[in-house]
Structure 1
């Protein structure tokens, strides 16, 4: 994202709130306006991809204007990148609230896998957005100045719980934190990304609570047994 977009965001964030006790409107509450645009844009990009998404439709759904969206985000591509960043940020911020360091290593790993499964299950737009960016071969994510850093705490948390488990003798040696993260992500991601085709082929509804719960526990056990060795 270019410097102009960042400057616009900073300028928007610095605007004062309404005075005299009047209710703040969308026009002078840029943070709320931008959050609403990002929320609607996530669904639009997830459903239609970058090429198919329409700024007109996002503007209409958020009761804003194309001009305002371009003012905040610079372009459709700038908005798309902002949605990517916001989606990763939301997941990592929630993940930080798990307080994995307060749990025993195996319990911490279980909680992390369960959280990832539940997050993905409830966030199909996020999954579709990541799939769309992979179709772009990560072109727009490569332009982000924040996504890489947003994911550092996720790996640090895995490194910490794994080191504690290794010291306690409950985890085997030789497990790479990024590889473990990839394994957890892959299993939980597939459960949403492929549930329609997989479900049709095998006549199993992966959105049905009992089926989802069984799949969740299966993934937890797969990851635990892999690390326990």
Structure 2
């Protein structure tokens, strides 16, 4: 008697593609590759492999290498702007608001060391990609306005000086964290201190806050 024929197995269902997750993985991999190797040294193959994505899919979502680099830059700026908006600075008094902004900026650089390296790469490129990204200006304008409002509220309360350029102030706030994080290794050797230790990082953060607040409280000509 012939053996009963086993029913044919149905073909395995193809797993639906999660485009948002794949794009996020590619952007995250691009951050690391561009930050570590610069634009010229970065390889699309390496980014696709790190992201666990097909290279053709990478090109499908982001176009060429230059477009992917622009997307990584834009995503990096959008991330820090989202963090700043989440601070809800208008809900705090001027001193607390500026304290929160300085600490957030410092901690963002500290938690994302790839970010200073990525910005260093774009500066080596003389910002040639950033100049072609119209979305960047719109991202920064609200932050400048927010800082200007904090300064105005502080001045009205008799706490802060009025003659403060919000752009110059933000550059100083960013520099206090950026330089420390991007130069921790060399500064640790030069000054024979482990600047990456928790104690030194906390000391530096407090120092940054104090510098900014002391400047804002200093009356012109004092």
Q: When the two structures are superposed, what TM-score results if normalisation uses the length of structure 2? A: 0.90
Q: Which moved more, 1:146-155 or 1:46-55?
A: 146-155
**Structure 2, gaps ≥5 residues long:** 1-12
Q: Partner of 1:39 in structure 2?
A: 28
Counterpart among 174, 178, 181 of residue 189 in structure 1: 178
Q: Which moved more, 1:199-208 or 1:83-92?
A: 199-208
Kept in 1, the 8 Å contact 2:152–2:162? The answer is no
Q: Partner of 2:74 in structure 1?
A: 85
**Structure 1, gaps ≥5 residues long:** 1-21
The offset of 1:63, in angstroms, is: 2.0
Per-residue CA distance 1:186-219 (angstroms, 9 max, x = gap) = 1111011111111111112221000000010011
Give the 5 Å matches for 1:40-189. Answer: 40-189=29-178
Answer with 1 or 2: which has the greater Rg. Answer: 2
User: Where in structure 1 do 4 or more consecutive aligned residues deviate above 4 Å?
Assistant: none
| SS of equivalent to 1:151 | helix
Q: When the two structures are superposed, what TM-score results if normalisation uses the length of structure 1? A: 0.87
Kept in 1, the 8 Å contact 2:160–2:217? The answer is yes
Aligned residue pair count: 206
Q: Give, in whole Å, the separation in 1 of the partners of 2:175 and 2:22.
A: 34
